[in-house]
Structure 1
Amino acid sequence: MEITDLTPAELRVWRAFPLNEGVDLRESADDDPADGASWGPGRTVRAEVLRALLLDGPTTGGRVPGLKLTGARVTGRLDLMYGTVDPAMRLRSCHFEKPPNLYGAQVRALVLSDSVLPGLTAGTLRVGIVLRMTGCRVTGPVRLAGAQLSGALFLDGAVLGVPGARSGRPPGPEREDSGERPEPALQLNHATVGTDVWAVGLTAHGRVRMDGATVGGLVNLDDAELHDPDGLALEAETLSVGTDLRAARLRARGMVNLSGATIPRRLVLSSARLSTPAGQALRASVSTIGELWLRGTAPVQGAVNLRGAQLDLLEAAPEVWPERVRIDGLTYRRLSPHLPAERRLPLLEREETGHLPYAYEQLATAYRAAGDEVGARTVQLAKLRRHRRTLPPYARLWGYVQDVTVGYGFRPMRAAGWLLVLLLTGTLAFARERPRPLKADEAPDFNPVFYTLDLLLPIIGFGQEAAFAPRGVHQWLAYLLIVTGWILATTTAAGVTRALSRQ
């Protein structure tokens, strides 16, 4: 391109490029790039001029060239497809007439902060330093599928998509799929980010797709708002991050899908609001997460699926959980806050797939690890009571007997209580009306306490039962004491056996 073909605004950019100097075309610092379509020739730069500069622009000895343009209206399409761009590209507060095309390009740095774009096509883009889209407003899809960023990606304060609009579908290699779902507002699927994805305060009207992405540091979605009319706000299956995924105060209308994700430190959903009333609001099945924080989170609207997930710490109040949960195979070591077991048990009753003994064992293990043996026994007892519902009538009857007498072995003091009541009853009854001796000359002195113990204890004998025979109602009382004693002995033995098998 000849320099004589340039407009005055383009000439300023051309001369500043080899010196890496900035050109600010704004009339005031408050100019809104959304109004860029009305900017006149003094603020207009053709995309083909920028392309010529970036691919083969002039240089000055001893200076590193670079494009540093602010407040421009960029007409035409900035097409750098498959190109190699060594100079840094900094296009702040600009208004783009058409979506830039950087598919397959290699760039040193790309800064589009506070700009307004109708979209961005940059699948498989290679960025050497940083990709910064802070404060951008992008009405169309941002396509970064398969991109490789050595540094960080900044999307803090960006607004992607248009409320209520369905994104168009990309042509050729950028085509999303052949289904009917709208194209995601942000596509980072299978992308590689060397450090962090910084998206604090991001607003996305449409799906944010990050499945298969690898992030060396953290993903920060604090204060983000994700809205998807088709019900999938964040699609991040098999996402791998180096440290944390932060989403404190997140507002998600649509499912947050983290199935198979690897998050070594923390998944922070504190004070978040997750809402998919007709489907799953949170899915983190078969994921590996260090700590899952749901501290202060509003009650989830929609189902939660943590099937097969592995956690070190699960921090959530019982009020967070919805009526529909999937926790079969969920493994965790610690629970926070520490609450009585009775407050945690209702969650296990909500499991959609029915009775899961493992879920009870996992909860009991967590209480035992916290040194709360009482809580652990309460959970074990609840497990057996729920299992009892699945048994045939005769087995349920025996279960009720074990529960009432010794609490399936987890309430051993009940047996002592029953024994004391029965001992007192028998002692008073037989003291008022002594049974007749079978052999008056050989019978020992009658003792109502030890006579009752002889009836109650099936193994230990004090010589009283064999020497005396009650009559009438007292005979029936004796039979009742004998049967009750055997039941107490049997249920106690079963409870002891169960306790020993657990140890």
Structure 2
Amino acid sequence: MLRSRPLWRLTAAERQVWDAYPSGAWVDLRIGDAARDDPAEGAAWGPERTVRAELVTALLLGARPAKPGQVAGLRLAGARITGMLDLSDATITSKLHLLNCHLPGTVSLTDATTKGMRFRGCDIHRIRAARATVDGLFELDSCTVHSGVRLDNAHVTGQLRLARARLMAPGMAEPGPGGRPGSDNHKASESYMEDARRPFAEAERQERGWDQNHWALWAGGLTVDGGAFCRDVQTVGGLRLIGARFNSGLYLQRAVIKGTGAHSVYADHLQATSVECSAGFTAEGTVRLRGARVTGVLSFDQATLSAEGRALHLSHMQVDELILTPASVQGEVNLGYSRVGVLLDHPSAYPGHVHLNGFAYESLRGDARLADRLSWVGRDPGGYRPQPYEHLAAWYRRIGHEQEARRVLLAKQRARRATTGLAGRLAGLLLDLIVGYGYRPWLAGVWFAVLLAAGTAVFATHPPSQVGLDERRVFHPFPYTLDLLVPVSVFELRGAWEPVGWTQWLANVLIASGWILATALIAGGTRLLRPSTP
């Protein structure tokens, strides 16, 4: 019992907490002055508002039983809780609810099993809850946490709430007066356990290749059953969510994530029913969700993304609907080898390089024109990739837009031509000019008509001489030019008349052009009739 320990001397504030716990009643130590009740200034609060962490720990671990017919719980507002609140490995059956409190020490829930834990509007040095199980709500709404939150491999059966919270990575805490991080008073309040565990944390960090000093929220393997509501959260440091599961969605609308390393969000293999990085979501550093699985909507609508190099890494994902209509993107976007049911986007919203090789989608939505899509599939930093063109053409053909599909495949051939040698480029250019690689066969008819008209006009004014004078024949320039253009003589006029002077060159050009047009038409017809591979 507490009376046999040094805690038997309770202050007036602590006595209120001690007496209220069995019934779960609130203890409010606030004075009603907004400035003086600000938990950021809690280091200046006197003993009338100070409660030792040892007392809170003792009560939550069963120092006092519940009153008959009532539910015990610790509900405390406006208090400065000194020391380290260490509940590691504990099994806690009562709820903890702290409102506008100042906690200059670490809150440790490592490997604990607890009921709902609520910290609202509090100023906290650090929270460690690795492998914890919270049966109910875990809330940090409007809190400021100066040295990061650890929730790796934790399990929250209710909601995780971080709305309007301010999280800073370890080592990124802002200096402040009194007991705030960076001050002498704050350092003195830290438990020796923090120093004892630091070498082990450092060794683990080096072994895994991760620097925890860059992460405001370290939550790999976290499972949240009831939805993670992180709207308006602000961080100095990134969110590490590798392998996290959000069974009722992750909501980051209007969040501002300022990564201090290369990434602002690192969430490979994340699983969620929906992810909302929208409505003003801002990220400085790469947002990476490689291999994520989202059974609903993944939205970046009106988001602002910026990073050196890759701003958005969404490769190898499976998403039912991807909304990619950000307000601004500075950096590359990687969608390679992902599978998306519906893509709602406008390519001009992310004008930089786009990795699309292996990207597959069932439907495209948005007001993008064909020209926008052609620019989109041609922006791979690695150069020409055939698959994005083929898949876009297959989609146009699937919805009945055959003409657009042909234009996409024509653009594909033109992009491929730039990757060939000189001979290949010349042959490709000729095939493009004559029949548009087979996707514009009408061009051959245009060339044929132009050559036929030119030949007819020339031979009408410079008629050839007749071969053999045993019979008198009348020369007609139109059928004669047509006979020259057709690879196999139809009217037998080619052998009956001999061009004279410079018209001999014209006749040879017409004969060669006829063969070229015929060959191009055969090649184009073969390409046109061959089934396209999606």
The equivalent position to 2:366 in structure 1, one of 337, 355, 358, is 337
- 1:370 positional shift: 4.3
Asked if 1:295 corresponds to 2:332, the answer is no
Tell me what 2:11 maps to. Answer: 7
- 1:130 positional shift: 1.0
SS at match of 1:399: helix
Q: 1:380 to 1:443 in 2, by over 3 A?
A: farther
Match of 2:51, as an amino acid?
V
Which stretch shows the higher mean deviation, 3-12 or 283-292?
Answer: 3-12
The equivalent position to 1:285 in structure 2, one of 315, 319, 327, is 315
Match of 1:233, as an amino acid?
S
Asked if 1:177 corresponds to 2:205, the answer is yes
- 1:436 positional shift: 3.3
Asked if 1:208 corresponds to 2:239, the answer is yes
Which stretch shows the higher mean deviation, 443-452 or 330-339?
Answer: 443-452
Q: 1:4 to 1:321 in 2, by over 3 A?
A: closer
SS at match of 2:312: strand
Tell me what 1:243 maps to. Answer: 274
SS at match of 1:354: coil
Structure-1 separation of matches of 2:422 and 2:198: 64
SS at match of 2:459: helix
Show the 5 A alignment for 1:247-326: 247-277=278-308, 279-298=309-328, 300-326=329-355
Show the 5 A alignment for 1:9-408: 9-28=13-32, 30=34, 31-56=37-62, 57-161=64-168, 165=172, 171=198, 177-178=205-206, 179=209, 181=211, 182-277=213-308, 279-298=309-328, 300-408=329-437
- 1:162 positional shift: 6.8
Structure-1 separation of matches of 2:407 and 2:232: 44
SS at match of 2:526: helix
Match of 2:306, as an amino acid?
S
Q: 1:404 to 1:307 in 2, by over 3 A?
A: same
SS at match of 1:127: strand
SS at match of 2:530: helix
Q: 1:436 to 1:174 in 2, by over 3 A?
A: same
- 1:483 positional shift: 0.7
Which stretch shows the higher mean deviation, 64-73 or 339-348?
Answer: 339-348
- 1:281 positional shift: 1.4
- 1:439 positional shift: 4.5
Tell me what 1:450 maps to. Answer: 479
Tell me what 2:441 maps to. Answer: 412
SS at match of 2:361: coil
Asked whether the equivalents of residues 148 and 170 of structure 2 are also in contact (C-alpha less than 8 Å), the reply is: no
Structure-1 separation of matches of 2:445 and 2:483: 16
Q: 1:103 to 1:183 in 2, by over 3 A?
A: farther
Match of 2:24, as an amino acid?
N
Match of 2:497, as an amino acid?
F
Match of 2:323, as an amino acid?
W
Asked whether the equivalents of residues 21 and 66 of structure 1 are also in contact (C-alpha less than 8 Å), the reply is: yes
- 1:73 positional shift: 1.0
Tell me what 2:180 maps to. Answer: none
Deviations 1:130-172 (A, max 9, x none): 1011001000121111101111100010000179827999637
State the number of aligned residues. 501
- 1:502 positional shift: 3.4
Q: 1:442 to 1:20 in 2, by over 3 A?
A: farther
Structure-2 separation of matches of 1:164 and 1:440: 105
- 1:408 positional shift: 0.5
Match of 1:234, as an amino acid?
V
- 1:38 positional shift: 1.2
SS at match of 2:58: helix
Structure-2 separation of matches of 1:346 and 1:274: 21
Match of 2:238, as an amino acid?
R
Q: 1:183 to 1:469 in 2, by over 3 A?
A: closer
Which stretch shows the higher mean deviation, 3-12 or 132-141?
Answer: 3-12
Percent identical residues = 37
Unpaired runs of at least 5, structure 1? none
Deviations 1:423-471 (A, max 9, x none): 1112222233433333456676543222222211224713333433332
Asked whether the equivalents of residues 377 and 389 of structure 2 are also in contact (C-alpha less than 8 Å), the reply is: yes
Structure-2 separation of matches of 1:102 and 1:164: 21
SS at match of 2:286: strand
Asked whether the equivalents of residues 146 and 172 of structure 2 are also in contact (C-alpha less than 8 Å), the reply is: no
Unpaired runs of at least 5, structure 2? 175-193
Match of 1:333, as an amino acid?
E
Give the TM-score normalised by structure 1: 0.93
- 1:490 positional shift: 0.6
Match of 1:326, as an amino acid?
H
Match of 2:358, as an amino acid?
G
SS at match of 1:111: strand
Structure-2 separation of matches of 1:340 and 1:446: 53
- 1:270 positional shift: 1.4
Match of 2:9, as an amino acid?
D
Tell me what 2:186 maps to. Answer: none
RMSD: 2.4
